[in-house]
Amino acid sequence: METVVAVEIVRNAILTSILIAAPLLGICLICGIFFNLIQVATSIQDPGFSAIPRFAVCAFAFLLLLPWMLNQMSGFIARTAEMIPRIAR
């Protein structure tokens, strides 16, 4: 296997993982900031007040984004499988 092909595979894997993780991480970050601001503004000290809604929003976002994430992963796997003849030479 040539070095160029190996670097291309690793590059595509890293870019795909960033593309898959970024929307979910962004949603969870915004949700965490929002609930913490509400907690600070109302002076509520209960950790369950911010943890439970944050978990619920992140779980809902994960379920909402899951088909898209699976589509991106299967596309990466298909592109990588198409490279097998180039790797085998």
At 48, list the tokens.
């369950």
Number of domains in the chain: 1
Supply the range of the domain harboring residue 64: 3-88
At 50, list the tokens.
């911010």
pLDDT in tens, the chain (89 residues): 678 888 888 999 999 999 999 999 999 999 999 988 888 888 888 877 778 889 999 999 999 999 999 999 999 999 988 888 877 76
Q: What is the pLDDT of residue 1?
A: 62
Specify the pTM.
0.77
For residue range 41-50, what is the model confidence (pLDDT) as tens digits?
A: 888 888 777 7
With contact defined as beta carbons under 8 Å apart, do 1 and 87 qualify? Answer: yes
